Amino acid sequence: MASTEKARLLLQSHASAKQAHESAQTELGGAREKFKEVAPQAWTAVLTPMLLKKLDGLRSERDAIEAEQRDFDRNELLEELRTELVETGECPCCGQSAHLPEVEQDRSLRDRRAELRDIHARIELIEQVLDPAAVALLRERHSMLQDKAMNAHDCASDLADAEEEIEGLDDTNLLDLPQQLANIKVQLRNLHNDLEIAQYARDEDQDQANRLAAVIAEHGGEAGAAATRKQDLISGLQSLYSAAIDNYREELTRRVENEATAVFVSIRSDPEFVGLSINEDYGLSILHQDGALEPQRSAGYEHIVALSLVAALQRCAPVRGPIFMDMPFARLDPNHTLKTLEALPAIAEQVILIVHEGEISPEEAHQRLQSSLVCERRLTRRSARHTEILKLSTV
């Protein structure tokens, strides 16, 4: 496509969107690092409400026992004075003769100093665990990470829209299938990094929670035992949920890999290439018959791999729709063009192709597709603002 003012503006918009996306990714990376610094304290935010409630209960219990202990100490002192007065007949304070009347003593009072020491120790332990400043910082960093992630998502959407706008600019080659595959790899790599950070924070939380549960079980009495049981239940549900996600991801990865291999084998012309393998970045590599992965591949095979991935994702999607393909045969040799054309009916229930006659002749398309060709239109450019659409055939 010739360089026009519209193309120039579209490319400028794409460049701006790409720069904003890169800047957002940098900021998101910085936010991740800041969150990782405080992630080991994440468990305190989860247990803080329960610990505060426990602390209030212990303080109330401490106040009640201290009041009872004061009454007990006073009765003890009075009993000692009474005993001395009976023995000597004199007041131990002023030395004068005195008579201490009989006073009814509260016999239910008992010495609870040992209990007070235990409660003071438990209160001190919980106060050491609680760190409001750390919890506030954690929430601040988490909020910042969410904001940066949302901004990065919005920038990625803007970049995708900009790339869609420049589709068809032949001189840019920005939106062909191999480039789309490279963009998907970058996004998947970022998601993989996010997953590792989340798993690291989760493991740290679990370790801290286990240590705190042991402390609560030792000093928390029945309330601590109940909290420990709740913590065990939450940990079990978390493990079950994580295992379910891992199993689903592995199963979906296997299905996509198998479906992509089936499409690839039906198209490729070199029998030494026996399939496709999903790598750690969730990209597709060509598998040689000797078991090794092909380190390099031609532009044509890059195109075939991308088409195989699109077909596999379509087959494994819970909700399927039509596939639009613009100039799908531009980088393929004649043999691969025919094989790709024959494979199209098995890729999706509806495939819409936009092709030039230089890619494949109408006669060849009719012969290969036969009854799978439902409708055919010819687009003829009449002017810069008008393209004529002519209905050729409908099966």
**Which tens digit of pLDDT belongs to each residue from 237-278?**
888 888 888 888 888 888 888 988 888 888 888 889 989 888
Determine the Cα–Cα distance for residues 77 and 87; give it in Å rounded to an integer.
16
**Which of these CATH numbers, 1.10.510.10, 3.40.50.300, 3.40.50.1370, 3.40.50.920, describes 320-395?**
3.40.50.300
Coil, strand or helix: which one is 1? Answer: coil
Query: What mean pLDDT do residues 302-306 have?
Result: 85
At residue 323, does pLDDT exceed 70? yes
Percent of the residues in the chain that have a pLDDT greater than 90, as a whole number: 0
Q: Report the predicted TM-score, pTM, of the whole model to 2 decimal places.
A: 0.42
Residue 99's pLDDT band (boundaries 50, 70, 90)? low
For the segment 189-247, what is each residue's pLDDT rounded down to a tens digit? 888 888 888 888 878 877 777 777 677 666 656 666 676 677 778 878 888 888 888 88
Determine the Cα–Cα distance for residues 1 and 173; give it in Å rounded to an integer.
11
**Strand 375-383 relative to strand 386-394: parallel, antiparallel, unpaired?**
antiparallel
- Vertex 299: Cα angle to 263 and 322 (nearest 5): 40
Query: What mean pLDDT do residues 147-170 have?
Result: 78
Determine the Cα–Cα distance for residues 63 and 70; give it in Å rounded to an integer.
11
Locate all alpha helices (DSSP H) within the chain, ordered by sequence: 5-38, 42-88, 113-129, 132-165, 177-219, 221-267, 299-316, 334-347, 362-369
Determine the Cα–Cα distance for residues 304 and 275; give it in Å rounded to an integer.
12
How many other CB atoms sit within 10 Å of the CB of residue 126?
A: 19
At residue 373, does pLDDT exceed 70? yes
* Residue scoring higher pLDDT (359 or 276): 276
CA proximity to 149, closest of 29, 33, 28: 28
Tokens describing residue 322: 């039509």
Query: What mean pLDDT do residues 54-70 have?
Result: 85
For the segment 101-117, what is each residue's pLDDT rounded down to a tens digit? 555 555 566 778 888 88
CA proximity to 272, closest of 283, 284, 264: 264
Structural domain boundaries in the chain: 24-165, 320-395
Determine the Cα–Cα distance for residues 189 and 187; give it in Å rounded to an integer.
5
Long-range pairs for 147-155: beta carbons < 8 A, 24 or more residues apart: 147/31, 148/24, 148/27, 148/28, 148/30, 148/31, 149/28, 149/31, 149/194, 151/24, 151/27, 151/28, 152/21, 152/24, 152/25, 152/27, 152/28, 154/24, 155/17, 155/20, 155/21, 155/23, 155/24, 155/25
Whether the Cβ atoms of residue 387 and residue 378 lie closer than 8 Å to each other: no
What is the pLDDT at residue 110?
Answer: 73
* Residue scoring higher pLDDT (357 or 96): 357
What is the pLDDT at residue 173?
Answer: 44
